[in-house]
Amino acid sequence: MIDNSGNIRIFAGEDSKPFADRMCAYLGLPRGKSFSKRFGDGNTYVRFDESARNEDVFIVQTIGKDPNNEFMELLFWVDAFRRSSASSVTAIIPYFGYAKADKKDEPRVSIRGRVCADCLEAEGVDRVITMDLHAPQVQGFFKVPVDHLYARPLLCSYIKHAGLNTEDAIVVSPDAGFAKNARAFANDLGLSLAICNKIRAGHDENAKAAEIIGNVKGKDCLLVDDFTTSGGTLAEVACCLMDKGANRVSAMLSHCVLTEDGMKRIEDSPLERLIVTDSVDDRLNYADENSPRIRELSKKIRVISAAPLFAEAVRTIHERKPMKDMFANLSDELIAASFNDTPAD
């Protein structure tokens, strides 16, 4: 439960309501009444149905499988709350897809992450809470505070919970660019680290695993990355690890943006399990609310909830406490709530 909740309201964009509901259940708060609709011509309409005057408003909206519509909807929500005299507006973005576009790495391209930051600030957002940005420097695109959460403590806790951190286990980074993050996983789990040399040509979502730096023969490999869409990197690296004599391979992701083809690649790969968070709605057909979810279609996939982590961040901010206290030690209550619907094996 959250203390002194009289001036706090949590609302959600249309595709993020399940995530916001899990946050609210953890905090013991009702989710704010709201409605959004996309008209036949593509226009988005938003409306909330209770007063936000002098309230601290938190609007939950992931920027994931339908990023353009989701981002525009978020801007409209911020505008609506500002025009209704909210005391503050915090954007909770569990997955900020445009964080991948963090630099001008070739001529005549847009730095889209910076454009998104400028738009949110122009609409009057006071704060942003997000998790595992693909490019952490995106925090610097904002002039308002950005609270950058990490899925690593949750994922590592689940690895221990499932008994996967054996003495034969090793953490594997899919490329040199993720090695620093993978090292943090290895340190948390008390394991050694191997690195895959990955080659990507062009702007497609396919990559080739060239070689493994480190000894994985006879090891239980724990492959870690921040997100996947096509599943290509995970499948390719898993095959490479097995070719190098690995005993088995599991993978952990902060964000799962799998397409239907991507899920088939995971199913056909040597991966034994894929552990992900719920930062992105896991419906395969995002436009159909009744479409099957990846966890229902694949026995390999384990989904743990990051909603309690974001809820704890909301509590910390609302109670004016330092965020570092939250990062220092995740409570047993939070861990239990995150694994509530997740099998251990």
Active-site positions read 198
The whole-angstrom separation of Cα 343 and Cα 316 is 29
Specify whether the CB–CB gap between 144 and 128 falls below 8 A.
Answer: yes
Token couple for 289: 């609310």
Which one, of 190, 189, 210, lies nearest residue 199 by Cα?
Answer: 210
Residue 194: its H or E element = strand 193-199
In the sheet that holds 8-12, the strands lie side by side as 8-12, 56-60, 88-93, 127-131, 146-149
Q: Is 163 left (phi over 0), alpha (psi -120 to 50) or beta?
A: left
Residue 55's nearest CA partner among 8, 3, 11, 5 is 8
Under 8 Å between Cβ of 168 and 246: no
Q: Rounded distance, CA 70 to CA 64, Å?
A: 8
Bridge partners (DSSP) of residue 195 are 173, 213
